[in-house]
Structure formats: structure tokens, C-alpha cells
Amino acid sequence: MKTKVTESGPPLFQDLPVQIAPPFSFGVSRYPIWTKNKSQLIDRYLYYFILVTKHGSYIDGFSGPQRVNDSDLWSAKLVMERQPRWLRTLVLCELSPTKVRMLEELRNAQPPRNATKKEPRREIKIIGGDFNANAGAALQAAQIKDRTAAFCLLDQRTFECHWKTIKTIARFKSVGHKIELFYFLPIGWLKRAFSGVRDNAILDRWWGRSDWDELKNLASPDIASLVCQRFRKEFGYSSVVAWPIRNRRHRGSIMYYMIHATDHPAAPKLMGRAYRKAVDPFEPLEQLSLRGILQDEAVGSDHAGKGNR
Ligand SMILES: C[S@@+](CC[C@H](N)C(=O)[O-])C[C@H]1O[C@@H](n2cnc3c(N)ncnc32)[C@H](O)[C@@H]1O
């Protein structure tokens, strides 16, 4: 018999069957996102985000480059350099001092504000150290007011982002739309990674509870489904969708999900379009309209993230 996993804490009875939300209906996608395209997905989504908001604050909690020798796939760089430069505040956090220096070099290499292109004054703030300790400072630095549109990338490697940190960000705004989250959920190596962790407190902090061991009994889509449920129930997001990111070399198996949590009504469709178009040439912004995008997504979508809205 498998153990029941509940949303509210450790199970009361150990011998009940697994009973969580229906699994995701991820079909075979015509538009798979491979691991190497993740940063393009982030970049493309923020392009659409800007189309809607015309401004915004961006927080990247784990912002150093995954590969120090391949800055073309570095999401902080893509987002910083993306035009139009309408994001007003970027807060980039990073633990590694070497990567903090890379972030500073990247910031220093940015061109000055182009007033003729109506670029707003932009602030790029870099915070070195553990993001879990610095999340409060990052939120203050992001200058998020009631009407500020804000997006936070939590692109951890495996277990670095504490559940409490997600909660801090999700609950930060009490008026207006909550800060949108894009959270990395490891899948392909999750069960192996559990056994490599010597100190269970690391997993307790990552999962925010001590029943992470029960994830070992679940299939990957069910783990994603459970995380989506927790984001909705514990943080109050109206839409939480897990977008699969696949490994091209391992027969397209899912390596991880990027969990998109938002309560902006247009955002899930914008993410759907970003997922479909992540590697296509960018559409000129002046030819894009939110209404056009929403219509396209209503009739023609065939992206992979379904369910759990
Ligand atoms: C997966 S990488 C981020 C990849 C990046 N988004 C990209 O596009 O290349 C995770 C980053 O988080 C950093 N990191 C690890 N633990 C951290 C922590 N507790 N606080 C802040 N940064 C951390 C690592 O040094 C690494 O640069």
C-alpha cells in the first residue's frame, strides 16, 4: 500500500492509497522546450509581460549563470538586454562571489538610458549571499508598490530555495496582483538527489514540511500536480501551471518543471504563447497586441502545460 499525501501535512494514516488531484494531462507537445531553451522561455515570457505592463520589477533569486562559459543561455543577461528596456527595477541575487562579479560586469556593460526610445530610468541591484536570507531585502530593493507588476524567477539547481522564501514572496503584496513566480521543480534526478542529501533539514526547508519522503512514491506528473496544489492553497494563486522542460538526449524525458504561479488573468495564456514560441524569432512589439495574443491562444494553442488552472 502506498502512503496518502495530503496538502496539509504529514499523513494521519499510513496505509491509505495515494489520493491527490488528477494527474496532469500532458500530451506529446508539438513544441517541446528543451533544457537549453529554458532561458529563452523566460526571456520570451518577459517580452510579453512588458507588452501588457509597460513597466515592472524583476527579481531573480538565483541569478548567476548556470554555465560560466556560456552567457548566451544566461537568463539574467537575456532579460537585462531585452528591448524595449521597460523593466524599471531588476534585483539579481546570487550566492557565489565569482558569479556576483559576473553580474556586476554585466550590469556595468549596459548602455545608458535611451530617452528617445522612452526608456524609463532603470535600476539594477545586485545582492550577494543566500537568497533565502536576503529575500526580504530583495523585495524592498525591487520597489514594488500596490500597482507594480512584479515577476520573480526562482531558478534553483535542486533544493536551494526554501519553501518559506516562496511564501515570503507570494505574500508580499496585499493589494493588486501578487508577484508572479516562475519556480524550478527538479524531476529527472529528484529521487536520486534525495538520497545524496546527508542532512534532512535541507529537504525540510526546501519542501517546507518533513513529509518530502512521500514524494518518492509519486510519479513525476503527480509531484508537479501536488506542488501546484500547494502553491494555490498555501499562497492563494488563482493559476498555477507546471511547464515541462525536456532533455533532448534522453528521449525527451522531463528533466524539470517550471511552475508558473500568477493571478493575472492574461498571464497563463502569455506563458502558453511563450512556450510555443520560445525559439522563434521575436515578433516586433508594435505588431503584437494583447487581444491578438489572447485570441491566438484561445483558438490555436497546442502547448504542453495543461490543468491545474
Ligand atoms: C541553476 S543556476 C541559475 C541559472 C540561471 N538562471 C541561468 O539562466 O543560467 C542557480 C544559481 O544559484 C546560485 N545559488 C545557489 N544557492 C544559492 C542561494 N542560496 N542563494 C542565491 N544563489 C544561490 C548558484 O551559484 C547558481 O549560480
Query: How far apart are the CA of 258 and the centre of ligand 1, in A?
Result: 15
- Predicted pLDDT of residue 213: 96
Tens-level pLDDT at each residue, the chain (309 residues): 344 444 444 443 333 332 333 334 444 466 789 999 999 999 999 999 999 999 999 999 999 999 998 888 999 999 999 999 999 999 999 999 999 999 999 999 999 999 888 899 999 999 999 999 999 999 999 999 999 999 999 999 999 999 999 999 999 999 999 999 999 999 999 999 999 999 999 999 999 999 999 999 999 999 999 999 999 999 999 999 999 999 988 888 999 999 999 999 999 999 999 999 999 999 998 888 888 888 888 754 444 454 444
- Predicted pLDDT of residue 138: 98
Q: Are 260 and 243 in contact (CB under 8 A)?
A: yes
Q: Are 258 and 154 in contact (CB under 8 A)?
A: no
Q: Tell me the three state secondary structure of residue 32.
A: coil
d(CA 220, CA 182): 18
d(CA 253, CA 90): 33
Buried/exposed 30-69: b ≥16 CB within 10 Å, e otherwise: eebbbbbbbbbbbbbbbbbbbbebeebbbbbbbbbbbeee
Ligand 1 pocket mutation, candidates 94, 165, 185, 206, criterion most atoms within 8 A of CB = 94
Ligand 1 within 6 A of CB of 62: yes
- Predicted pLDDT of residue 293: 85
Angle between helices 290-300 and 267-277 (to 10 degrees): 70
Query: How far apart are the CA of 94 and the centre of ligand 1, in A?
Result: 6
Ligand 1 atom nearest residue 134's Cα:
20
Ligand 1 atom nearest residue 96's Cα:
25
Ligand 1 within 6 A of CB of 155: yes
**Closest by alpha carbon to 283, among 44, 100, 57?**
44
Ligand 1 within 6 A of CB of 165: no
> Residue 212 — φ and ψ, nearest 5°?
-60, -25
- At the top level of CATH, the class of 33-300 is alpha beta
